[in-house]
Structure formats: structure tokens, C-alpha cells
Amino acid sequence: MNIQTLLNQRIQAAMVASGAADDAPALVRQSAKVQFGDYQANGIMGAAKKIGTNPREFAAKVLEQLDLSDIAEKVDIAGPGFINIFLKNEWLGAQLGEQRKSERLDVAVVADPQTVVVDYSAPNLAKEMHVGHLRSTVIGDAVVRTLEFLGHKVVRQNHVGDWGTQFGMLLAYMERLRAQNSKISMALSDLETFYRAAKTCFDDDEAFAARARELVVALQSGDEECLALWNEFIDISMAHCEETYKMLGVSLARQDVMPESAYNDDLENVINELQTQGLLQESDGAKCVFMEEFANKDGEITPIIVQKTGGGFLYATTDLAAVRYRQKVLNADRVLYFVDARQSLHFQQIFTLSRKAGFVEPTTSLEHMPFGTVMGSDGKPFKTRSGGVAKLSALLEEAQERAFQLVASKNPDMAEDEQRNVGRVVGIASVKYADLSKNRTSDYVFNWDNMLSFEGNTAPYLLYAYSRVASIVRRSEIDVSSINAPITIAAEQERALAVKLFQFEEAIQQVVSDGMPHFLCAYLYELSGVFMTFYEACPILAAESGLKESRLQLALNTASTLQLGLSLLGIETLERM
Ligand code: ARG
């Protein structure tokens, strides 16, 4: 049940019946202050202005047309023409009962499901995943889970980098190891070291560098031996990624991988199409597209280079092929790209060109969902203590270990197995949640103490809140599935909790419309706070029979909402911690 949508529909209908334009929005929002009710409609003033009437008089007319008697106990006009809505306690109680009965907490499935292609994670396979891949991976995954929950068809696309010039260098190094009879799989168990060793040879040894360049050409022209070597490398590197996904609890699988190399055979076609459409221009021997939209104030245009002198293709060429594929083969209605903000210009250019070239339908929405950088406490991009890039797998190991230490010190009596499991869940959740809870577009500072704190908007706080609610329910020793006493809302704190519980659906809408999971995080954090206030003011287990069952159901709905909300964020919950 989405109250906001319901009120929007009803109020808009009343506005139209009172003479407003058909598309005049009611602009229903949650009220910021209790004296303004639970919701307010802000659309009256704008609608009145359009038809040239006095807003307060118009508001009065709308109220005559508006019957909210089933859900609201009071509807007021305030200020210049705001409509304030005070929901009815009986209605809230009855709706909560519906919410309880439904596994999806009465959240509606969308009436018009879309096919949404989501491009996320996409590490470069030449190296191991590092902290820079965290954001795309966890934010993308939360949005994917929420889209699916709402009934959209999601196609995950892990656009991994497996095809650049670096691969020549890596293959040359594999060749060398093989000639020395060294075990390649051993060497590849640590990709960072392998990459560095290959890079040293490449930089210091001219013959090696020449061989590396030869191998790129051989690879790209389909040489079998080269491909076999390359496949071996990619397989191992992909397995490293999968281990990290597993540790992180990310829903990406092998079948979601659509690597850069998969578009190789289509790149020539992209160039030909651009050529036929007269969009290509030659510049210093390279094939480029110059678009007015990307001119600076002196009129100089930053072009997209699609083919280098000598014939090589680029990152942009592959992305153009990918747009076409996502439209023509995957039938996307929407394509979301969770990629670093530093690639914003690249995506604006790709999107603009794709439209000009007709690679996408005019109705298809292409959306870059940029994110900021993970920073260290020194205000620079996050590095390990020794100054290297932080490997994601090492970071996640450390998180689990730190959380384990924390849990062990808080619960010395817990069996070590359980301490380890709680440490695993809390550690991973902390890293993910610290990332998800920040506004996607800003940078944030990676700080162990903050993310592992039991206070504030953190994973430990929320997981603890969940386990506490779960334990209240357990201690009641009531078979909750058999409760059918009505939920009665009387105390102010019960009411605040009830209204908050309903706002879950509004919070998850924002995750899918804006690709911003931090709205859901903020909601879950507020919900926990409202629950704690309720719990202090309204005893549950000590309440008289009837009231006890009613309040227990409020606790149950809270637990289910926290659990479902966290699961949409890709975070596991614990019954005990
Ligand atoms: N592999 C790229 C990188 O590490 C990200 C790819 C993002 N997706 C895309 N379609 N370009 O920067």
C-alpha cells in the first residue's frame, strides 16, 4: 500500500473535478511537522494559478469534491492553500493487518513492468578487484534487487574489461613463465603481483614489450594459441571476482558477464553505420565524431574517438556497440550505468551519439548513475597502509576479522562458531552499508570505527535493532502466526510507528527511480529509531491481553520491514548477535 500514490490519485481527481487542468499534479508529500498532519498536498497553489483563481478558494472547492472519510480523520487547508491530511487510527490499524498478512508487506508489484538493463561492477580483469569497485558493485546490486522486487525484468550486464592493450603484456608474461616451466596457475593466484611483474618486464625490456604488442594484435585477430592463453587468464581472473562477489553477497553470476571482448566482431559495423550516417570525421588519421553539444566556450569540441590511427578500436566504440545490443537484443526500456563520476563526459557523449545514430529508441532511457570516490582519512583516494590500492578481498577479510573481535568482546559466552558467523555478517554488512547509506554522488571517507559503530546510521545499529525486535517476539512465547487480534492504534508512539511502517514503499520507490539506495538506508534507520521510542513508551510483553497482541504485531511488522529492507540492500540479518 502506497499512501502517497493513493492520496495523489484521490486529490488530483478532486482538483480536476474542481476545474484544474487534467495533468495538474497534487504533489502529495510526507509532512515535515506533526501540526501539518501526516501528508500534505502542495499542488493546489500551482493549479489555481494556472486557471487564474484564488488558491485558498480553490482549495475549499477541492475539499468539497474530496472524500477521504475512509482514511483520514481530518483534512485541513493551511497557509496559502496547502491541504493537510491526518490519517485515521482505525484505518492505519486495519492496513497494518493487511501488511502483516502479506509476504511482500503489501508492497504492490508495478502495473507496467519495464525491462531494465543494469551495467554494474564491471572490473578490469587485468587486475584484481580493488576498493574502487565496491561502489558500483554494491549500489548496482541493491538497485537490481529492488527493481526485481517491484516486478521489473532486470538484465544484469557485467561489462568486464578483458580486451585492452594490457592483455598483450600479461600474455607475454605467461608465455615467459611457461618457457621457464613455472606453474602459471600458481603465479595467477595473486593477480596483483603477477600484474606488477609483467609491468616491470614491459617497462624494462624492449624485446618483451615488442612481443606484448605483437600478442595484442594476434589476440585481436583471433590467433588460436593466443586465445587459449588469454582464456586461461580470464578464467582465473573471473574466478577471483566470483569469490569476491560471494563474500560480498552480490547476485552477479557468470551468465551476467558480457565482456568487452564480446562486442569485438561488431565494432566494424558500428564504424560503418556511423560512416553511412555521415557522423564520422577524420582527424589526424583517427576516426572521430564531433558533436556541437560538447563544445567548450571557445567553440572547441571534445570529440569521441572511435577508431585510432592504425585501426584499433576504443572503450567508446565498445560502449556504442553495447548500447545497440542492449536496445536491439535485450529490448531495454531503461539502461542504468553504475560507473564512477569521472566517466560522466564519456557517457554523455555515448548517449548523445547513440540517439543521433538511432542506436536506441527515442523512448528508451539511458541513465548514468555516477558515484563519488572512496577516500582515505588523508582526503585522498583510499589506499592501504603501505600505500598500494586496497584489494577488495583483503578489505573484506579485514572487515570480518574486526567484526569478529568486536563480537567476541561483547559476547564472550557465545560459541566461537557463532561469533565467527556473526562477525562475517556484521563485517560484510558494515562495509556495504557504509557505502550504500551515503548519497551516491558524494565522495566518502572509509573509516573502520565509524562503519563498525553500534551508534548512528550503521549496519551494526540496524542489525542490532533487528535482532532486538526479533528477540522481543521470541520472548513473548506467543505463536505469532496464530494472532488474529486487531491492531489498535491509540498512543502517539504507536501511531508514529504505524505511519512510518507504511512509508517503506515510498522509500523503495526512490531506490529504483533515482538509483539511490541511501533513501532506503535512511528510512530503515528512522524506522529503528521510531520503534525504540515506541518500545520505551509502550510496553509490549507487560501489556494486558489484547493490547499485547496488538503491539506485538507492530513489533513483527517492524522486524519484517527491517529484514526485507536490508535484504533489498543485499544485507543478511541475524536473529541473535
Ligand atoms: N571496466 C570499466 C572500468 O573499470 C567500467 C565499465 C563500465 N561500463 C561500461 N559500459 N563502460 O572503468
Specify if 564 maps to a domain. Answer: no
Q: Which residue's CA lies nearest to atom 11 of ligand 1? A: 319
Whole-number Å distance, alpha carbon 160 to ligand 1 midpoint, is: 7
Query: pLDDT tens, 212-243?
Result: 999 988 998 889 999 999 999 999 999 999 99
Whole-number Å distance, alpha carbon 438 to ligand 1 midpoint, is: 22
Whether 122 lines ligand 1, by a CB cut-off of 6 Å, is: yes
Burial of 226 (0-12, 13-18, 19+ CB in 10 A): buried
Whether 339 lines ligand 1, by a CB cut-off of 6 Å, is: yes
Closest atom of ligand 1 to 315 CA is 11
Looking at 33, 59, 86, which one is the last position of a domain?
A: 86
Query: Residue 171 pLDDT > 90, yes or no?
Result: yes
Whether 124 lines ligand 1, by a CB cut-off of 6 Å, is: yes
- Determine the pLDDT at residue 310: 82
Q: Which residue's CA lies nearest to atom 8 of ligand 1? A: 159
Q: Which of 128, 162, 339 is the best mutation target for the ligand 1 pocket, counting ligand atoms within 8 Å of the beta carbon and taking the most?
A: 339
Distance CA 286, CA 288 (A): 6
Whether 75 lines ligand 1, by a CB cut-off of 6 Å, is: no
Query: pLDDT tens, 244-274?
Result: 999 999 999 999 999 999 999 999 999 999 9
- What is the torsional sign of CA 392, 393, 394, 398? positive
Q: Which three cell numbers stand for residue 358?
A: 538511432
Name the nearest CA neighbour of 19 among 67, 60, 70: 60
DSSP per-residue codes, 407-458:
HHHH-TTS-HHHHHHHHHHHHHHHHHHHHHTS-TTS-EE--HHHHT-SSSSS
Distance CA 368, CA 119 (A): 10
Looking at 22, 57, 86, which one is the last position of a domain?
A: 86
- Determine the pLDDT at residue 389: 81
Distance CA 5, CA 479 (A): 34
Q: Which of 343, 345, 368 is the best mutation target for the ligand 1 pocket, counting ligand atoms within 8 Å of the beta carbon and taking the most?
A: 343
Contacts for 234 with CB less than 8 Å, ≥ 6 apart: 125, 162, 259
440-469: average pLDDT: 96
**ipTM greater than cut 0.90:** yes
Specify if 387 maps to a domain. Answer: no
Helical spans, DSSP H, in 249-314: 267-276
- Determine the pLDDT at residue 34: 87
- Determine the pLDDT at residue 217: 87
Whole-number Å distance, alpha carbon 168 to ligand 1 midpoint, is: 19
Distance CA 138, CA 386 (A): 26
Query: pLDDT tens, 78-116?
Result: 999 999 999 999 999 999 999 988 999 999 999 999 999
Specify if 362 maps to a domain. Answer: no
The beta-strand segments (E) located in 15-142 are 28-30, 39-41, 72-78, 82-87, 115-119
Query: pLDDT tens, 415-447?
Result: 999 999 999 999 999 999 999 999 999 999 999
Query: pLDDT tens, 185-204?
Result: 778 888 888 999 999 999 99
Whether 241 lines ligand 1, by a CB cut-off of 6 Å, is: no
Let me know: does 522 contact 437? Beta carbons within 8 Å: yes
DSSP structural state of residue 76: E
Specify if 96 maps to a domain. Answer: no
Specify if 64 maps to a domain. Answer: yes
Specify if 25 maps to a domain. Answer: yes
Looking at 228, 252, 276, which one is the last position of a domain?
A: 252
Q: Which three cell numbers stand for residue 77?
A: 487547508
DSSP structural state of residue 110: P
Whether 159 lines ligand 1, by a CB cut-off of 6 Å, is: yes
Query: Which domain does 205 fall in, by range?
Result: 164-252
Q: Which of 156, 159, 234, 324 is the best mutation target for the ligand 1 pocket, counting ligand atoms within 8 Å of the beta carbon and taking the most?
A: 159
Query: Residue 479 pLDDT > 90, yes or no?
Result: no
Identify the band that residue 312 occupies on the pLDDT scale cut at 50, 70 and 90: confident
Give me the CATH number covering residue 46. Answer: 3.30.1360.70
Q: Which three cell numbers stand for residue 95?
A: 492496513
Whether 162 lines ligand 1, by a CB cut-off of 6 Å, is: no
Q: Which residue's CA lies nearest to atom 6 of ligand 1? A: 122
3-state secondary structure 424-437: HHHHHHHHHHHHHC
117-137: average pLDDT: 95
In the chain, the number of structural domains is: 2
Specify if 361 maps to a domain. Answer: no
Name the nearest CA neighbour of 220 among 271, 165, 301, 278: 165
Q: Which residue's CA lies nearest to atom 9 of ligand 1? A: 159
Specify if 348 maps to a domain. Answer: no
AA identity, residue 21 = A
Whole-number Å distance, alpha carbon 163 to ligand 1 midpoint, is: 12
Distance CA 325, CA 119 (A): 13
Whether 119 lines ligand 1, by a CB cut-off of 6 Å, is: yes
